[in-house]
C-alpha cells in the first residue's frame, strides 16, 4: 500500500534548504498540506492552497506557536511536525572539547536542541488543548551515539543530538496515551548544503566506502524524506519513541 499524507496538515521547521526542502516536496507529493518555516538563506516559496510559508527563526520561542496557529488558520487542523532546523556550530566555536568556546556551546545547543523543545512544545500544547493528536519527527544524527574522530568532532553538536533522543523518548512515553507519537531520524552523512565541507574532503569521501558501505558514498535527501513521510503517516500509527538510523550502515560499521 502506498504511503499517503492525504488530508494531513504538516509543519516543517527548517524547510528552505537541504533535507527540509526535499521533505516539503515529498510531503506535498504524498498529498499533504504543508506550512514551511525557514530563514531567507534558502528557497522562497509561493503561498498557495496546499503550501504556506513563513519567514521566521526556529530559535525564537514564538516561531513554533505562530507556525502551528498559521497551519490551523489555513487548513483547520494540524497533524504533524517535522523539525529539521539545526546545523553545525563550527562558526561559533564548536569543535573538540579543549577548543570549544562558551559561545560555541551555547549557540549550538540553542540552534539544535532548544529550538526542538520550542517546536515540540507548541505541537503538543495544541493537540492537548484541542483534544486531537498527531505525529512528531525530530532530526537527530548518527554522531549522537557513533562518533568518528577526528573528522567529525563537534562536541556541542553531538551533545545536542544525543539530548534530542532522550527528550523525544521522554515525551513519546508521556503522551502515548494521548495518541501523540514522537520519533527521531538519525541520519549518516547526507549530501546537503551543510555537508559541503565533507563533500570537498577527499579523505572523508574515501572513508565513506567503509563507513557507509550500503552506498559507499554520501546518502541522498530522498533517503531521509521517505522515512519522514512514513513516520508522519497513518502507516506508522503503532510506532513511537524510536530512534531510526538512516545512515548507510555507519552505526554498525
Domains annotated on the chain, with CATH:
9-245 (3.40.50.720)
| Spatial contact of 42 and 12, defined as CB atoms under 8 Å apart | no
pLDDT higher than 80, residue 188: yes
Backbone angles phi, psi at 39, to 5 degrees: -100, 165
pLDDT in tens, 169-182: 999 999 999 999 99
Per-residue pLDDT band for 1 (boundaries 50, 70, 90) equals low
pLDDT higher than 80, residue 193: no
- In the chain, the largest separation of any two C-alpha atoms, in whole Å, equals 52
| Spatial contact of 136 and 182, defined as CB atoms under 8 Å apart | yes
pLDDT at 200: 77
pLDDT in tens, 30-85: 999 999 999 988 788 999 999 999 999 999 999 999 999 999 999 999 999 999 99
Helix, strand or coil, per DSSP, at residue 60: coil
Average pLDDT value over all residues in the chain: 95
Q: In whole angstroms, how far apart are CA 232 and each of 36, 99, 110, 169?
A: 15, 39, 25, 16
Q: In whole angstroms, how far apart are CA 194 and each of 29, 99, 176, 189?
A: 25, 21, 33, 10
- Report d(CA 199, CA 98) in Å as an integer: 26
Helix (H) / strand (E) element for 174: namely helix 155-175
Per-residue pLDDT band for 92 (boundaries 50, 70, 90) equals very high
How many residues are recorded in the chain? 253
Amino acid at each position: 500500500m502506498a504511503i499517503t499524507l492525504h488530508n494531513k496538515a504538516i509543519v516543517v521547521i527548517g524547510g528552505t534548504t537541504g533535507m527540509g526542502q526535499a521533505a516539503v516536496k515529498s510531503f506535498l507529493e504524498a498529498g499533504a498540506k504543508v506550512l514551511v518555516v525557514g530563514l531567507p538563506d534558502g528557497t522562497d516559496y509561493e503561498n498557495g492552497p496546499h503550501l504556506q510559508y513563513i519567514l521566521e527563526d526556529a530559535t525564537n520561542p514564538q516561531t513554533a506557536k505562530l507556525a502551528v496557529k498559521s497551519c490551523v488558520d489555513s487548513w483547520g487542523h494540524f497533524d504533524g511536525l517535522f523539525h529539521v532546523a539545526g546545523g553545525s556550530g563550527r562558526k561559533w566555536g564548536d569543535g573538540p572539547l579543549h577548543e570549544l568556546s562558551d559561545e560555541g556551546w551555547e549557540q549550538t545547543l540553542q540552534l539544535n536542541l532548544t529550538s526542538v523543545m520550542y517546536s515540540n512544545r507548541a505541537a503538543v500544547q495544541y493537540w492537548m488543548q484541542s483534544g486531537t493528536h498527531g505525529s512528531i519527527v525530530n532530526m537527530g544524527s548518527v554522531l549522537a551515539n557513533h562518533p568518528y574522530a577526528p573528522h567529525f568532532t563537534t562536541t556541542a553538536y553531538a551533545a545536542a543530538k544525543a539530548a534530542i533522543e532522550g527528550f523525544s523518548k521522554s515525551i513519546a512515553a508521556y503522551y502515548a496515551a494521548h495518541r501523540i507519537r514522537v520519533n527521531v531520524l538519525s541520519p549518516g552523512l547526507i549530501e546537503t548544503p551543510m555537508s559541503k565541507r565533507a563533500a570537498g574532503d577527499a579523505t572523508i569521501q574515501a572513508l565513506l566506502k567503509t563507513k557507509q558501505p550500503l552506498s559507499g558514498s554520501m546518502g541522498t535527501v530522498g533517503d531521509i524524506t521517505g522515512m519522514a513521510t512514513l513516520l508522519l503517516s497513518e502507516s506508522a500509527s503503532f510506532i513511537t519513541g524510536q530512534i531510526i538510523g538512516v545512515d548507510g550502515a555507519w552505526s554498525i560499521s
